[in-house]
Amino acid sequence: MDDLSDLYARHAAFSLEKQLALGHVIGTRSFAFDAEAGTLSFGEGRQFPMQLLGTVSRQSNTWLWAWASPQPAPPALLRAARQLQALGQRLAIAELEEEGFDLVTPAIAGLAAADDPDYAPDPLDGHYMAMLAAGECQASAYYGADYGRGIAYVLLPQVPAVQAQLSDEPAHLAAVFAQLLQLPYAFDHRAALGAYLEQKGYTVAQADYQLRGQKKEHWLEAAFDSTGRLNKLETSGGAVA
């Protein structure tokens, strides 16, 4: 049965690619939040429909799902959050089905690892939750809107400018995956790369510690160690890592 880390591994790479594309679309522009209209805007020509996901409190370092917020939101803006709640109930994943939970920032995880590496928790924060949520809900991207006391995470279901920047070129996919490895989150590299390639339309074959993805003349080959961590990644354009 899938758990939270399985969902993250399944969606992390593609979600990161979409986030990188969103960065090119909105740059450093400030946002305008309109709950009544159900939109998030970044200036002229950059207004997108949104789905409310959840909030991170800076004071308590906790996640609260949008459907559990004391400030009611229109049901139409909670469809994605409710979809994830139903998924959590079906798979018995507490973080998805309960109203909220404690987070573990990368900094806290690092301190715990220094104290006792064998029992250190893996990082779990708002970006982690939003990345897996964007994948499960097939959103174009997500955005973390800083409101001072915390961060409100929303999904952006349709951003055509993001979709236009996506690519299935092997070198591009390898570069995205290399950036994913720089994030502080723990995940199964092999499962994540295999899922990413399948989402991009590649046929994936695995044997022992090897993985190969093929799409017409394009290919990627990866080698992993016994724990599933990536050792080497090559593409039809040459060695990458």
Q: Taking Cα atoms as reference points, which of 51, 48, 76 lies closest to residue 65?
A: 51
Burial class (CB in 10 A: 0-12, 13-18, 19+), 162: buried
% of the chain beyond a pLDDT of 70: 91
CA distances from 63 to 58, 98, 124 (A): 10, 10, 10
Rounded mean pLDDT, 45-66: 96
Q: If you ran DSSP here, which 8-state letter would residue 121 be given?
A: P
Examine the pLDDT at 114 and tell me if it is beyond 70: no
The per-residue pLDDT for 183 is 95
Q: For 147-166, what is each residue's pLDDT tens digit?
A: 999 999 999 999 999 999 99
Examine the pLDDT at 239 and tell me if it is beyond 60: no
How would residue 2 be classed by pLDDT, with cut points 50, 70 and 90?
A: confident
Rounded mean pLDDT, 77-90: 98
Rounded mean pLDDT, 45-54: 95
Instruction: Look at the block and give the residue holding tokens 């450093």.
Output: 28
Please give the structure tokens belonging to residue 164: 């236009």
Half-sphere exposure of 150 (CA within 13 A, CB side): 17
Q: Do the beta carbons of residue 35 and residue 50 sit within 8 Å?
A: no
Examine the pLDDT at 198 and tell me if it is beyond 80: yes
Domain layout of the chain by residue ranges: 4-163, 170-239
Judge if pTM exceeds 0.85.
yes
The per-residue pLDDT for 109 is 59
The per-residue pLDDT for 113 is 47
